[in-house]
Amino acid sequence: MQISIALIVLVLSLIVFSIFYRGLPSLTWEMVSQTPKGGYYFGKEGGVLNAIIGSLYLAFGATILALVMGLPVAMLMNIHLRKFKKLVNGVRFLLDLLWGVPSIVYGAFGFSVMIFFGVKTSLLAGIITVSLFILPIMIRAIDEVVRNVPVGLLEASMSLGSNKSQTAFMVYVRQCSSAIVTAIMISFGRAIGDAASVLFTTGYTDSIPTSVMQPSATLPLSIFFQLSSPIQEVQNRAYASAAILTIIILIISVLSRVISNKYNKNKIS
Amino acid sequence: MRFLKNEKVLNVFLYLFLGIILAMPVLLIVGLLFKSESVLHANSLSDLLFSTEWKPFQGKFGFYSYIYSSVLVTMLALLISVPICLFAAIYLTQYAKSVYLKVIQPVIDILAGIPSIIFGVWGILVIVPLISHYVAPFFGIETAGYSILAGAVVLSVMIIPFILNILLEIFKSISKELPQASIALGATKWQTIKYVILRKAFPGIVSSVVFGMSRAFGETIAVLMVVGNVAQIPKSIFEPGYPLPALIANNYGEMLSIPNYDSALMFASLILLVIVLLFNLAARMLISRYETKI
């Protein structure tokens, strides 16, 4: 049984180690500061700045959109619809189902909707698709904490004359701030790392997008395309890009821990 | 925050957002069904599901070999990860000091947060050479390493955090009195785990496995990178396969030039969606029945 634990820890360290071992030697400043120049995919000069910026745009956009829709729904479920237990549990059930839907299905669905409206692949389409994909994660992560807030807080706030929305967005949001930050971080990590849903919707380009209607490169797809090249030089760059993505994910993971610990201090229990 | 005072306007938005989310599953199914209608019209459902004939130019779309590959990879992945998760969960909740759990929890969380493309790169770097240089020659087989087995190993690592997290929750939720009573009656620690805890946790264990299954079934990029992508019925686990999600992802560019091709791929997504929804539904049912029992 100790072996199984050791195996899990070993596998994680092996993944991080092997990515860094292959990726870091080819990770130069050029890689993160330049867009691909002509002949980049044949081993000429350039970097993956387009993919890094594209991924950040996409992940920020999708996370903000999911937060704008998700936070009110999580509050609505626990404050406004507090008395309708069955309905709320039904919604939770539905969200859990949606959580399990693979991202490629969202991608295919988004793609067919885009064809239906005659829209080309663009950053906006990618943002909307990814935000639909991370929405259930966001809501359930917030909801799980909001539902455990003591009723006394709601009663106190209401008895002081505030309405339900004020209670939700001025009292509960503060009380659950650490959970909300964690939810944002989890969703952001999901959004930046997902390849299957952006494959159809965001497209790929070598330049940094200047408007949301343009297609955009993303880091996972950039890794994928570079890795399928037969040229060693380009493959090495794919490993370097993978190292960049791993670093971003690890930073998010550490950051969410630090922030949630910090916000936990001003919380009543 | 003045706008919060006017609840009527705000409530419209709140319920609108809720409505969008409630409509999502229906929209997904209806949208995909709508798009796959033309291929369903041209081919019979049994042909689509149980024929291996895949000739897009002649309008023949048999998904059997893809579905078979998907099921094989998923089952193999579960076979590897479920015992590991089970032992790890038992050890962490029954034997180890609570400090261990505090150390392991971040590891699980980080593992759960790693993007699938990174798992794919890792598979190409480590698992594929490992299989082609060491594992396959051990059985006297020659292979390039891009195989069902490679896909299954990568998948099994990816679903470990999901299954383990659920298992930990379930083992933690079992009341302390049950094992205490069992020990008081003279059972050993291992007997208690085997006959009391595992029996009590059984529905939860099944549902965690089903969750892992649905997660594995829909995984795309990581599997696509290591599984070889050859449309065939694999005879052994060292042969390449071609799971459903990989089929959809690989052909997105060319699907508009061939009639009914896009429709067939949307049908593939629909199969994926329906199977995953059914798995999830079954697992939720099991877990909710179990929660009410305790």
The range of the structural domain enclosing residue A145 comes to 10-266
Does any domain span residue A18?
yes
Does any domain span residue A152?
yes
What tens digit of pLDDT does each residue of B16-74 get?
Answer: 988 988 888 888 888 888 888 888 877 777 777 777 777 777 777 888 888 888 889 99
Q: Name the domain count of chain A.
A: 1
Q: Which of A26-40, B95-109, B238-252 is least confident? A: A26-40
Determine the Cα–Cα distance for residues A24 and A160; give it in Å rounded to an integer. Answer: 58
**B55 forms bridges with which residues in the sheet?**
B60
With beta carbons under 8 A apart, name residues in chain A contacting B119.
15
Partner B contacted by A257 (CB < 8 A): yes
Do B226 and B243 contact (CB within 8 A), yes or no? no
Determine the Cα–Cα distance for residues B101 and B239; give it in Å rounded to an integer. Answer: 39
Determine the residue of chain B that is closest to A248 in CA distance.
Answer: B114
Averaged pLDDT of chain B: 84
Contact yes or no for B284 and A93 at CB 8 A: yes
Alpha-carbon distances, residue A192 vs A15, A66, A154, A197 (angstroms): 18, 14, 36, 11
Does any domain span residue A203?
yes
Determine the Cα–Cα distance for residues B128 and B149; give it in Å rounded to an integer. Answer: 9
CATH topology for B45-293?
Answer: MetI-like fold (1.10.3720)
Partner A contacted by B217 (CB < 8 A): yes
What residues of chain B, 66 to 85, have a C-beta less than 8 Å from chain A? 83-85
Residue B82's pLDDT band (cuts 50, 70, 90): very high
- Which uninterrupted H or E stretch holds B55? strand B54-55
Do A126 and A58 contact (CB within 8 A), yes or no? yes
Do B224 and B245 contact (CB within 8 A), yes or no? yes
To 10 degrees, what angle do helices B7-35 and A49-75 make?
120
Does any domain span residue A5?
no
For residue A214, what is the domain's CATH number?
1.10.3720.10
Determine the Cα–Cα distance for residues A15 and A12; give it in Å rounded to an integer. Answer: 5
Do B147 and A264 contact (CB within 8 A), yes or no? no
Contact yes or no for B272 and A76 at CB 8 A: no
Kindly tell me the burial class for residue A268, based on how many C-beta atoms sit within 10 Å of its own C-beta (0-12, 13-18, 19 or more): exposed
Residue-level pLDDT at A265: 58
Contacts for B282 with CB less than 8 Å, ≥ 6 apart: B207, B210
With beta carbons under 8 A apart, name residues in chain B contacting A139.
21
User: How many residues in total does chain A contain?
Assistant: 269
Determine the Cα–Cα distance for residues A64 and A215; give it in Å rounded to an integer. Answer: 19
In a 3-state reduction of DSSP, which class is residue A231? coil
Give yes or no for residue B294 having a pLDDT over 70: no
Do B230 and B242 contact (CB within 8 A), yes or no? yes
Which among B7, B121, B277 is the nearest to A239, CB-wise? B121
pLDDT tens-place values along chain A, 269 residues long: 778 888 888 888 888 888 888 888 888 787 777 777 766 777 677 778 888 888 999 999 999 999 999 999 999 988 888 888 888 888 888 888 888 888 889 988 888 888 888 888 888 889 999 999 899 999 988 998 888 888 888 889 889 988 888 888 888 888 888 888 888 988 998 899 888 888 888 888 888 888 888 888 888 888 888 888 888 888 888 888 899 999 999 998 888 888 877 766 555 54
In a 3-state reduction of DSSP, which class is residue B205? helix
Residue-level pLDDT at B290: 61
Predicted TM-score (pTM) above 0.95: no
